[in-house]
């Protein structure tokens, strides 16, 4: 099953994505739907107003998650290109809801930086409360997967040892277009296996496979649930593969007008045009 949040003339609406149409579930967005205990049954039975697929205006998949927890240094090829060693524990940081944009919205490059980088990522969307879960239980908390780009302002990120200030700029982080439930995707020994890539104006700058994650979705949920209760609609951004701009020689960054395409096979694609923010 595929779910999305779309913009309509009367506000955002959660929809089930069928092959030929999108059907409203009666909820304001996917986050509101997931907070219902029987959200899957509700989505499967949805028979609300319908929309043509080619006319959908995607909002961020979960417009206002309580938590957006991100993971750094979690692909083996990215760890190698940064010259580091695989971490013993996940490297965690956060984003906030104002960073999110829809799958086809503009990404806004802040006027204070010329060092804005791309990071294609698999997003895990939580579908059930998770606290102190073992790894073997954690997959049951996954509602589905989506596509995210952790667009990062590198000069701000590297001003201190804490990364947050480079990750929280507003309207920088595409999330969507849809949530895809695990039963629709291919797993390899319990791990999701799907090609992940990022393109700039059609040029591939990142290409890997989600099975290269050091800590997979279940391991991340189990670890994070030791620290805080994960709730339906929360988002985990699982990390980016090799090929980011700041480690290139010379470094390369996003510029005005660049078309940023983030794709995960079987999950979906975000296609966003980069725009330069005007100074306040």
pLDDT (0 to 100) of residue 189: 62
Residues 151 and 112 in one domain: yes
Residues 159 and 244 in one domain: yes
Q: What is the pLDDT of residues 154-211, one digit of tens each?
A: 999 999 999 999 999 999 999 999 999 999 997 666 689 999 999 999 999 999 999 9
Burial of 278 (0-12, 13-18, 19+ CB in 10 A): exposed
Are the C-beta atoms of 169 and 153 separated by less than 8 Å?
Answer: yes
d(CA 105, CA 175): 10
Mean pLDDT rounded to a whole number for the chain: 95
**Residue matched to tokens 């907070």:** 35
Residues 156 and 190 in one domain: yes
pLDDT (0 to 100) of residue 279: 55
Q: Which of 34, 57, 80 is the last residue of a domain?
A: 57
Band the pLDDT of 86: cuts 50, 70, 90: confident
Q: 3-state DSSP call for residue 275?
A: strand
The pTM score is: 0.96
d(CA 150, CA 120): 7
Residues 81 and 196 in one domain: yes
Residues 106 and 140 in one domain: yes
Question: Is the pLDDT assigned to residue 256 strictly greater than 70?
Answer: yes
Residues 47-72 have a mean pLDDT of: 97
Q: What is the pLDDT of residues 126-144, one digit of tens each?
A: 999 999 999 899 999 999 9
Band the pLDDT of 278: cuts 50, 70, 90: low
pLDDT (0 to 100) of residue 141: 97
Question: Is the pLDDT assigned to residue 84 strictly greater than 90?
Answer: no
DSSP per-residue string spanning 178-234: EEE-GGGS-EETTEE--EEEEEETTEEEEEEEGGGBSS-HHHHHHHHTTTS-B-TT-
**Measuring CA to CA, which residue among 279, 278, 280, 274 is closest to residue 116?**
274
The tally of domains found in the chain comes to: 2
Residues 40 and 81 in one domain: no
d(CA 231, CA 219): 16
Are the C-beta atoms of 159 and 192 separated by less than 8 Å?
Answer: no
Helices and strands in the chain: count of H runs, count of E runs: 6, 20
pLDDT (0 to 100) of residue 85: 84
Domain containing 31: what range?
Answer: 1-57
Band the pLDDT of 77: cuts 50, 70, 90: confident
pLDDT (0 to 100) of residue 76: 86
Residue % of the chain over a pLDDT of 90 = 91
d(CA 63, CA 32): 10
Tell me which of 190 and 88 has the higher pLDDT: 88
| Helix locations, 48-89, DSSP H | 76-81
**Residue matched to tokens 């620290």:** 227
The DSSP call for residue 44 is H
Residue 204 tokens read as: 């591939």
Question: What are the backbone angles phi and psi of residue 194, rounded to the nearest 5°?
Answer: -150, 140
Residues 94 and 155 in one domain: yes
CA 256 to chain centre: 22
């Amino acid at each position: 099953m595929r779910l999305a949040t779309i913009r309509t003339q009367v506000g955002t609406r959660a929809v089930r994505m069928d092959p030929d149409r999108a059907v409203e579930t009666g909820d304001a967005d996917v986050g509101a739907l997931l907070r219902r205990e029987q959200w899957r049954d509700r989505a499967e039975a949805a028979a609300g107003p319908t929309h043509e697929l080619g006319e959908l205006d995607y909002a961020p998949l979960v417009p206002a998650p309580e938590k957006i927890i991100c993971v750094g240094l979690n692909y083996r090829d990215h760890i190698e290109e940064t010259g580091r060693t695989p971490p013993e524990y996940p490297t965690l940081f956060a984003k906030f809801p104002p960073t999110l944009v829809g799958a086809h919205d503009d990404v806004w490059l802040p006027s204070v930086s010329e060092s804005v980088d791309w990071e294609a990522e698999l997003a895990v969307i939580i579908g059930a409360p998770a606290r102190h879960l073992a790894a073997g239980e954690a997959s049951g908390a996954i509602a589905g997967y989506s596509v995210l780009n952790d667009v990062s302002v590198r000069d701000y990120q590297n001003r201190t040892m804490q990364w947050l200030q480079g990750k929280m700029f507003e309207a920088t982080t595409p999330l969507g277009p849809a949530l895809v439930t695990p039963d629709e995707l291919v797993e390899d020994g319990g791990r999701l296996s799907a090609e992940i890539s990022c393109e700039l104006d059609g040029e591939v700058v990142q290409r890997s496979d989600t099975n290269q994650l050091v800590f997979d979705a279940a391991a991340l949920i189990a670890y994070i649930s030791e620290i805080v209760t994960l709730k339906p609609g929360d988002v985990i951004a699982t990390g980016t593969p090799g090929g980011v701009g700041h480690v290139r020689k010379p470094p390369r960054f996003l510029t005005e007008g660049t078309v940023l395409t983030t794709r995960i096979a079987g999950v979906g694609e975000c296609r966003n045009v980069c725009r330069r923010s005007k100074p306040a």
